[in-house]
């Protein structure tokens, strides 16, 4: 699933292309990709709306519209948002096409259809339980190690499961949780509430470093992720543990351990992460 660095890469590239642009037409080729409102209302209400700002919140793209509503794009596991010219060939599984007033198109494709498009005010989407209440942004300068410590304190769940909980921390997923735990030298299966303040300080720094490196390398293309232009990211070439179960640790040479936490494959080094 695209995580914070992948979504941030798309948002940064897309912002100058859609800022001030007006949606002129909507072509829903697979209407159920729209989860709010009904697809008919989505296709009726979105044309004529002007994009006044583009933001990222966790793993969500928020296109703020002049009328006060927001167009939300969530890529799910295999979603791709591409900026195209009308004459460009369509990718398989293209489910929605948004035409803009400068003649370009935003095309959303999603083979597994776990992504979603939403339209409405933030209050409406939260009330309808289509947009979750998200925790703090890990890259926000105001988010401190003390904030993270308070969110983990007293929790018996394994650390990684709380890092994946979007109400605890917004934007971190399987890839960057594994990488952050390795950087912090903390086992991902350790009960979160038992971490000392020093370990939480290391974890806070490691989460930020892992995400910032991912952004600098334009995301991790371990599966379906591509950027706005269809290009793969480079961060998968820098991953230390994710997806490497059984292979030697780059740091100490010991074979990396693969376990499942909450149904998610989790990789760590028993020597380096104690």
Q: Which residues are catalytic?
A: 2-3, 59, 264
Distance in angstroms (rounded) separating the CA atoms of residues 1 and 139: 19
Residues written for the chain = 274
Helix ranges, the chain (H): 4-18, 39-45, 122-127, 145-152, 159-164, 174-184, 197-216
Phi-psi sector, 253: left (phi>0), alpha (psi -120 to 50), beta: left
Distance in angstroms (rounded) separating the CA atoms of residues 204 and 198: 10
Q: Please answer whether residues 64 and 91 qualify as being in contact, where contact means their C-beta atoms are separated by less than 8 angstroms.
A: no
Distance in angstroms (rounded) separating the CA atoms of residues 27 and 251: 50
Torsion of CA 173, 177, 178, 179, to 10 degrees: 110
Distance in angstroms (rounded) separating the CA atoms of residues 158 and 268: 13
Neighbouring CB atoms inside 10 A of 232's CB total: 15
C-alpha neighbours within 13 Å on the C-beta side of residue 140: 16
Q: Is the dihedral of CA 82, 88, 94, 97 positive or negative?
A: positive
Tell me the two tokens of residue 21: 């642009």
């Amino acid at each position: 699933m695209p995580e914070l660095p992948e979504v941030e890469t798309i948002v940064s590239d897309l912002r100058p292309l859609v800022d001030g642009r007006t949606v002129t037409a909507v072509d829903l080729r697979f209407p159920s990709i729209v989860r709010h409102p009904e697809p008919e209302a989505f296709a009726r209400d979105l044309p004529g709306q002007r994009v006044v700002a583009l933001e990222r919140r966790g793993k969500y793209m928020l296109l703020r519209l002049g009328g006060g509503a927001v167009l939300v794009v969530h890529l799910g596991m295999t979603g791709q948002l591409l900026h195209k010219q009308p004459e460009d060939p369509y990718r398989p599984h293209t489910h929605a096409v948004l035409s803009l007033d400068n003649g370009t198109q935003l095309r959303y494709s999603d083979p597994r259809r776990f992504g979603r498009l939403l339209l409405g005010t933030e209050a409406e989407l939260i009330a309808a339980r289509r947009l979750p209440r998200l925790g703090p942004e890990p890259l926000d300068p105001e988010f401190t190690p003390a904030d993270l410590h308070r969110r983990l304190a007293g929790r018996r769940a394994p650390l990684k499961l709380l890092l994946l909980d979007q109400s605890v921390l917004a934007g971190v997923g399987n890839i960057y949780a594994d990488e952050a735990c390795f950087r912090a030298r903390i086992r991902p299966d350790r009960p979160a509430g038992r971490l000392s303040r020093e370990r939480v300080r290391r974890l806070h720094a490691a989460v930020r470093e892992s995400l910032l490196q991912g952004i600098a390398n334009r995301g991790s293309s371990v599966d379906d992720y591509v950027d706005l232009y269809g290009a793969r990211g480079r961060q998968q070439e820098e991953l230390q543990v994710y997806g490497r179960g059984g292979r030697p640790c780059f740091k100490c040479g010991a074979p990396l351990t693969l376990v499942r936490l909450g149904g998610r494959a989790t990789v760590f080094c028993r020597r380096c992460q104690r």
